[in-house]
Amino acid sequence: MTIARRCVFCQIVAGNEPASLVYEDDTIMAFPSLRQVRPGELMVIPREHIDEFCDVPDDLASHMVVVANRLSRALRKVFTPKRMGLVVHGFGVPHAHLIVLPQHEPSDIVSGRHAYVESGEIKYSEEHLPIWSRGQLDDIAAQIREALDAA
């Protein structure tokens, strides 16, 4: 099985998996995360399968950050967080992605809501966050698109 067939982000790009699109152009897409650390958390991905963000060509990485900044301003209008964060952590889906995160607490940037203690050791897993319904994600995406259009 090819990487693109195994990669959920490549499947979204191909139209084989659903996503509540907030932004798209010829090179990138942005959509809400299935497991939201905070409402409005977005993934910005290149359409091309690139495993790690450090391998994204500079011009594409720059474009992703510029779009993430625009999305951050829209998210700030919709969700009124204390701060906006951009995260590239390298884990999760093996396809380069930039996370745009409305922050209400300092630990949001390190996904503190993912933390749990097991046998006295702090561990992290998104499995502790609920999967949002397609309807919830569509509603969030619509609010963000409206704020983007108003900017």
Per-residue model confidence as pLDDT tens digits over 64-112: 999 999 999 999 999 999 999 999 987 889 999 999 999 998 777 766 6
Burial (CB < 10 A; 0-12, 13-18, 19+), residue 20, is buried
Distance (Å, whole) CA 141 – CA 40: 8
Residue 31 pLDDT level (bands cut at 50, 70, 90)? very high
Distance (Å, whole) CA 89 – CA 56: 14
For the chain, how many structural domains are there in total? 1
pLDDT for residue 3: 58
Contact, 94 vs 11, CB < 8 A?
Answer: no
pLDDT for residue 1: 44
| Count of Cβ atoms closer than 10 Å to residue 64 Cβ | 24
**What pTM did the predictor assign?**
0.89
Q: How remote is the C-alpha of 118 from its chain's centroid?
A: 27
Q: Compute the average pLDDT of residues 123-150.
A: 89
Distance (Å, whole) CA 43 – CA 28: 10
> What CATH number is associated with residue 35?
3.30.428.10
Q: State the residue for tokens 């060509």.
A: 57
pLDDT for residue 52: 95
Is residue 115 predicted with pLDDT exceeding 80?
no
- What domain range includes position 73? 3-150
Is residue 127 predicted with pLDDT exceeding 80?
no
